[in-house]
Structure 1
């Protein structure tokens, strides 16, 4: 990959490679846009095959964060970071603190948070070297686990989709399949159980499935993601890594609605049209999973004004229901898939606010 190939029209503002030899840190930070304010996005710790794979992932994730923050109505741009390595073996205090120094060197252009492979305790460690960290523990002045409101937002979007498809904003009596019962998927089970849904899950981690068996013996476990896709689901909720909706999985999908927490669910442009042609209602992932960024966004916005308020953030995350409703309404009126509608709204806000702030964007 050419060094400057990411910086095409609509590409990121900044890409920073981070290397600290003593700790073994290898990381990439991507700032996609600061049109609405400083970029906010989590830090993913993952054993990428190589640097090209890591770069492609961080660029896609950073772009998604820009659109997510815009659609959520936050005065924040979009960014993301990836740390190359296995978090179970490579994560150390020295590495996290070295990473914190790199984030600090950006001077507030990028605020970090938790993501796949990083947790609240990790953000507390990063914060020992950095002022631009969200998702810290409550005892350290932070918002804590953002997966709680992420799952709450997914549930709100799912209710709006159910209303659009079946006339009632409830999942009662509906069969919902969750692919991935990690941090977000576990909380989503609680919401769906409370609403009277029938739940089927799958996960590649035996420990996650053991937790389901212990905590929710009424929840059925599918043998694989392929089996879950083929199940007679009403709603399919991808809640693991991206690319879940692709040319192989979409033709096998039996669900009427796709609404889940995973980032970058569409493997490539055009998958949303394929879903629409098959009569599947797809709720754009960065709309659906915005509850977590709303939570850490509240933490970032009120660092010096009394701190994070869970009730305030939860009230804002509840608005995902109305935003989903509006996007589905406009999608029908304009005759375009919901993902394209969401993109338009996010881009309109970034351009309009960017102009007010003296930042001119393409389009």
Structure 2
């Protein structure tokens, strides 16, 4: 393939480089993957209502978010096991985000530690928290605070792991199980296999050595189950624990968004985990306008964004930022840090071109009159 010209091109390149079990982990979702496909169809169902005879010779993608001026309303979404796609994948994503001056969000399930990422990147860093055990969560929050992370994101949509059937069929997990089928697949994808041999099998870096003497924490880690008891009272506890910007991710119901901000969250992220948790779930974009109407705090969004036009639609409907997940992981898996940088260039260019053709000179001037939605 010639140089990719859209995110879907990077998806094809990622499929070529990665063994099937790894690509399926990246590309797949829960159960029948209806929710995964619906995220895209919901975005595609929104139509533009362009304005004409507008001076768009000079355009701006810049916006304010949590007191910081960003060159575009974008952030790198928190994603786990990125070292499986490309050696030191979290570091590559963080450096690319810093180059474009957008926030990088590190997942609890990263293969580079909180401290490693802080040391490798001068850009703004946010930390996404999975609550496996309360005491462990408190330790992780403290580490993020000490390492200079500016924003904490609580992910709420994993009471239990989603039924990801592709992963079950492939017996995918860490550590990688070297069955004959996996060995053959590795041989058929030599570039990926050589990188793995050269750099070693990635690990969940934030959990290494975590309170080895605490049997409760160790039991929680071994079971790989989240704290399903985490509730509204626990959100209050976390709010008291974290002194900076706190966002709650995994929200779909606008009333939940409203309650989060009433309890002290500085904003919410509408998300269905990219369709990876609850199948046949509503797409976040379907609840965006109502969520925005119920809170005066920023509402961000993810799940299904592949085009700059998708980003423009979400901002027009009231979102203040869009998190990019798979869109950048395809590029990471295909070409590493250079691929992520090029994917971000594509997104910036597509947003700019969409604004021009929409008749809107600044992304901050977008509003609901520029789109027509069936929701």
Q: TM-score range by the shorter chain?
A: 0.3 to 0.5
TM-score w.r.t. the length of structure 2 is 0.33
Structure number with the bigger relative contact order (C-alpha 8 A, sep ≥ 6) is 2
